[in-house]
């Protein structure tokens, strides 16, 4: 997931990399099921997870230049939205 202390412009750059390098970012586009909450942090967390799930078997990295952290608990379970976006499996 995205590291909360990273400034939005840097997070956006890392998210752009993830989305352009294998992550499925359709769900975080306007109208997508994971667009809300509409924050760089939430969208980057989704993109980073998507990238990791799709590339880990081929040796994909998951730090995104220090903008991401590994978590052991599904953060969507603690979402403040009424319908949390599921973490990709």
Report helix, strand or coil for 68. Answer: strand
The CA distance from 78 to 38, in Å, is: 16
Q: What is the pTM of this model?
A: 0.81
Supply 46's token pair. Answer: 């989704």
**How many helical (H) and strand (E) elements, i.e. helices and strands, does the chain have?**
2, 0
Return per-residue pLDDT of the chain as tens, 89 residues: 899 999 999 999 999 999 999 999 999 999 999 999 999 999 999 999 999 888 888 877 777 889 998 887 766 654 544 455 655 54
Quickly tell me which residue has 């990399």 as its tokens. 17
């Amino acid at each position: 997931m995205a590291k909360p202390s990273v400034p939005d412009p840097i997070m956006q750059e890392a998210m752009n990399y993830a989305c352009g390098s294998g992550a499925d970012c359709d769900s975080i586009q306007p109208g997508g099921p994971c667009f809300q909450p509409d924050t760089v942090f939430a969208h980057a967390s989704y993109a980073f997870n998507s990238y990791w799930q799709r590339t880990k078997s081929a040796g994909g990295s998951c730090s995104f230049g220090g903008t991401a952290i590994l978590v052991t608990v599904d953060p969507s379970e603690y979402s403040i939205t009424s319908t949390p976006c599921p973490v990709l499996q």
